[in-house]
Structure 1
């Protein structure tokens, strides 16, 4: 183990910190400090694992016993000079995983999970190349990255490690992507922060388990600064077009600064890191520009808007509205929420909780505690829920669920909603009538339904048909006066890479080629578009678990593997073979036809007008990890 874990705290300080510890993670840290594997066989052990449940359903008596045992082990470790025994072998590490989540973790997941938590302190996803790629070849291969959000920063770090020059084009004035843009009241992440951070840049400072936007933005700023990326980012600049020059085998990328200056970049490869949810979409109704009050889209928040005492209309009830409504309901004079489709939600009692100081201490000082805590978060959000999204054609209750496991989820979620709503008129409005997990499922600590039950809040179970100078006209014709309108109406998810024009071989325009069904091999590469890579591209969004940062790390590694393959071959261009892409896309389509998102009872932004899902990854998370570890030369044409 290459990392050093030093403890200088007093026993009083340690005891206070242990009161805030995740006891299951603490027990595995105790094993690392002592080398005593009998901890795994003792009578005290976690009783199970569930998303956002960090204590393994252990009794208070058992937790107190473990804290006392931990004090002895930590004291001995501290007084012995903080020397760790050898890292446990792989068989023991698998036993530790099984112990932590109280279930059998399939052995096939072991390599992925060890890589994710970096138990040996080594960043296995780093692309710090050795002699396998000539230095001169690297230095002569310039890459342009579009976007400085999560994926763009990650790509820049990995290119820097590989010794490849790069330029980042960012339309905003700072890094962070979605966390730079989405500044609306209540904006926060819905993946626990101790998982929603780069595997090689874990953060122990989070003030909340699910941090709000300013803290997330600061994290990405700090990472970019630490890795010395800022000087290579062109801020306030957009990519207008990218054209593949067949004769010179390079991309000509035209950019335009916010102040109007244009520039053409001649680069060898282009990485699109623009994401799927970055171009706001307003409702297609008449009168949007006629409103006489203040208005904005949630992703383009106007800081000058004053909510206090105002009549506020919130259009939408998806993920953004779910956070906005509780954040502004108390300040607003009145709040009218227009909801076309109610969201399914599951209970997360710590959604707004702060991280105790003791927990922060454990994360920072206890050997491997943070690594096992990350595993606990990841595993509970990994592939365990996959079976719940597979449609069983013989299931008799297709109106409410798609299989037996999904029906259990339906009951669980329904009971949670009923337990919070005692208003007979409100309950049918907030109870979804489609199978759970078919649309984005939201996390809730009671704040959404509590907000809807306030005296000054009105939930309209309908959309809007027009906007007037005075407010909103609902679908049923009712007029609602408003001082402020907030559109939480999502993004142009079907318009990948819009408004850029990407032109590949033979003048082929990517937007025209994709039309309403964008697709890329593994979500990354596209035939007839050499040396062009998508991050968070078509078919790579997640809807049943995982983390987009994990996805991003997989996709960036694959992109670097493609570039490595290109440079090792001494070729100028690498291009996905058409037959490889076609086979992949057919498998993509065949599998989605069996999953919940194309179920007749589900309609969401995940699918196009024909009902075909284009945004979501249909396989398990482990499949993405497997398939993106290396680029197969048989999948590509080099020239």
Structure 2
């Protein structure tokens, strides 16, 4: 390959400036032998989709290579379940289509019509019905950005002043900022950290990476095609978010190093006042029409209140506050917890420490993911850089495979009587996961006993497993401790059996206070109502976004919007951001100053979600989990499909919302 000049994707509707470079590709000049080698490492269904688009050739999508997409259980069927014979047929079709594209000068045939796009989407989704097409078009983003607002303020309310404050510049805050920018609505973003990224800026512990397939964990409006891995590392995600902030022009409106300490609603003028504090202690106030909170669910460290915790003579910190200056070489280290962060930390540090003690309360269920740490194969990387929109179709493919995900396998059958599972499907998932576990530690009955969960799969977040966890726990200098922790002493950790585990460093990989939404910000709504007192530890919101008594307060990643066995949090954040912008558009069109849900609408929504959660493994199991708050209510998790949340967040439900006040400005 000698030419490296990118080719523009001009046949399709021109994307926004920041998105344009994500849809640039390199010209294809290699011979057929090279193409065949590259295709041998490709994800075939998405490649055929991309080639059908650039060649305008639906004839590639024949029945023989249509992916059957068997239900997801403990694993995802490779290549959508295509047989070996079907894969060979698909590769022959792909190589021929690549050669035709090459011989035409690496130029797509032309702008695709809706019929061709719908045909390709049905090929990848096994014939999804018409009701799914709006969602699918949104995720593909061709021929244009379907999540963009269909209005602009200068067209519907040019003389009406309206300003929005966004709290947080993580994945959800940046989504809101971009959608407001597209709508031409004045906004300001307050970010307490020195850079964008939120959790991906804060969590720098060893081994930190995604446990959601990477292509699906990217914005629909900024689809990066060249991720180096399927489950990217922290720095790669942070770099992507920084790139989006710069390329999409978001930085000028972000005030870094500025923490919001209080948000207060004024009943008289129906405005919000935000109090902020910078690193040097300077306090400021800001008057805005609406507030969008984008602080996430997993941002407040949960540090267990263990007797004697502060008496420890060595170093200790939470995993999300990792101190990179600490040299672990030769230290005796304790990792408290066996959730997602511990699962990544322990294998990453085991080779460097003198001794590692892992303290476990509940063993995690492990999903077999052999490629968890692998790079994307070179041939597929090449195709992603050279085939227009292959990255988009691959993202679309990953999204669809996870749209329902393992929801059928975490159902709770009310007639089911076993304690270790919640339904026949759940029992089958448990059987497969146990088989995977036994294959790794069957030679160590002591570890098998400790590592076998006593609760149904799906009741807690499951971890991605490529074998490194079991391999780490088998190391001679690593102990898996399952006795409860009684106290921390100056020398280490004392467990309930009386053993003192002497350590030099304690890492609390104990998760986050997920149910303590918006803390420690003081939020005061109508008639002086304190939001945290109103919730009293049981956060509730209509669609997870708006709360009765708190007009023009919009929450992204709010109560009951977390997804744990299907989709990604980024999808839910985009949906909530787009819903918020549509609500603001409704206010501007109607010249109303504020909106909030009726108490009846909020209560009915929460009751519906509660009924849904009660039909899931996390709703009926008794194991401790961050999915539920201190009352036992699953206040964090969305129990339904992604399609259902997408449908509900397309436009404001005016029957559920109360609009009041009059915006200033001529009509």
If the TM-score is normalised by the length of the shorter chain, which range does it land in? over 0.9
* Cross-structure match for 1:507: 528
Q: Is the deviation greater in 59-68 or in 606-615? A: 59-68
Q: 2:367 is matched with which residue: 342, 346, 359?
A: 346
* Cross-structure match for 1:418: 438
Can you list the C-alpha shifts for 1:335-368, whole angstroms capped at 9, x where unaligned? 0000000011110111000123332232233234
Can you list the C-alpha shifts for 1:221-274, whole angstroms capped at 9, x where unaligned? 110011222222121221111111111211011011121000000111100000
> In the TM superposition, what are the counterparts of 1:133-282 in structure 2 within 5 Å?
133-137=155-159, 140-282=161-303
* Cross-structure match for 2:18: none
Q: Aligned pair 1:549/2:570, yes or no? A: yes
Q: Aligned pair 1:409/2:419, yes or no? A: no
Q: Is the deviation greater in 565-574 or in 254-263? A: 565-574
Distance in 2 of aligned mates of 1:221 and 1:251: 29
| TM-score (structure 1 length as normaliser) | 0.95
> In the TM superposition, what are the counterparts of 1:603-622 in structure 2 within 5 Å?
603-622=624-643
Distance in 2 of aligned mates of 1:141 and 1:390: 45
- Gapped runs of 5+ residues in structure 1? none
Q: Is the deviation greater in 354-363 or in 211-220? A: 354-363
Query: 1:330 Cα deviation (Å)?
Result: 1.2
Distance in 2 of aligned mates of 1:351 and 1:141: 46
* Cross-structure match for 2:8: none
Distance in 2 of aligned mates of 1:8 and 1:108: 37
* Cross-structure match for 1:56: 80
Query: 1:59 Cα deviation (Å)?
Result: 5.5
* Cross-structure match for 2:310: 289
Distance in 1 of aligned mates of 2:36 and 2:155: 51
Distance in 2 of aligned mates of 1:577 and 1:500: 24
SS in 1 for 2:273: strand
Q: Is the 8 A contact 1:592 1:613 kept in 2?
A: yes
Flag the 1:29–1:462 CA change in 2: closer, same or farther, 3 A: same
Query: 1:79 Cα deviation (Å)?
Result: 2.5
SS in 1 for 2:268: coil
Q: Is the 8 A contact 1:52 1:350 kept in 2?
A: no
Q: Is the 8 A contact 1:187 1:324 kept in 2?
A: yes
Q: Is the 8 A contact 2:298 2:512 kept in 1?
A: yes
> In the TM superposition, what are the counterparts of 1:466-477 in structure 2 within 5 Å?
466-477=487-498
Q: Is the deviation greater in 477-486 or in 200-209? A: 200-209
Distance in 2 of aligned mates of 1:393 and 1:367: 49
Query: 1:107 Cα deviation (Å)?
Result: 3.8
Q: Aligned pair 1:602/2:627, yes or no? A: no
> In the TM superposition, what are the counterparts of 1:296-335 in structure 2 within 5 Å?
296-335=317-356
Distance in 2 of aligned mates of 1:625 and 1:566: 21
Distance in 2 of aligned mates of 1:93 and 1:161: 25
SS in 1 for 2:265: strand
* Cross-structure match for 2:91: 67
SS in 1 for 2:658: strand
* Cross-structure match for 2:17: none
Q: Aligned pair 1:443/2:464, yes or no? A: yes
> In the TM superposition, what are the counterparts of 1:319-398 in structure 2 within 5 Å?
319-397=340-418
* Cross-structure match for 2:131: 108
SS in 1 for 2:305: coil
Query: 1:592 Cα deviation (Å)?
Result: 2.3
Q: 2:148 is matched with which residue: 126, 148, 155?
A: 126
Q: Is the 8 A contact 1:94 1:105 kept in 2?
A: no
RMSD: 2.1
Can you list the C-alpha shifts for 1:376-425, whole angstroms capped at 9, x where unaligned? 2112211142222231111232x111111111111111111111112011
Distance in 1 of aligned mates of 2:127 and 2:432: 24
Q: Is the 8 A contact 2:223 2:392 kept in 1?
A: no
Q: Is the 8 A contact 1:178 1:278 kept in 2?
A: yes
Aligned residues: 634
* Cross-structure match for 2:6: none
Flag the 1:121–1:475 CA change in 2: closer, same or farther, 3 A: farther
* Cross-structure match for 1:37: 58
Q: Is the 8 A contact 2:153 2:185 kept in 1?
A: no
Distance in 2 of aligned mates of 1:387 and 1:61: 29
Query: 1:574 Cα deviation (Å)?
Result: 1.4
Distance in 1 of aligned mates of 2:474 and 2:566: 30
Q: Is the 8 A contact 1:342 1:432 kept in 2?
A: yes
Query: 1:105 Cα deviation (Å)?
Result: 3.1
Distance in 2 of aligned mates of 1:229 and 1:85: 32
Q: Aligned pair 1:78/2:80, yes or no? A: no
Flag the 1:410–1:93 CA change in 2: closer, same or farther, 3 A: farther
Distance in 2 of aligned mates of 1:32 and 1:596: 41
Q: Is the 8 A contact 1:198 1:549 kept in 2?
A: yes
Can you list the C-alpha shifts for 1:145-203, whole angstroms capped at 9, x where unaligned? 10110001111111111111111111111110000011000000111111111011011
Query: 1:47 Cα deviation (Å)?
Result: 5.1
* Cross-structure match for 2:5: none
SS in 2 for 1:428: helix
Distance in 1 of aligned mates of 2:146 and 2:124: 23
Q: Is the 8 A contact 1:133 1:567 kept in 2?
A: no
| TM-score (structure 2 length as normaliser) | 0.91
- Gapped runs of 5+ residues in structure 2? 1-10, 14-23, 661-667
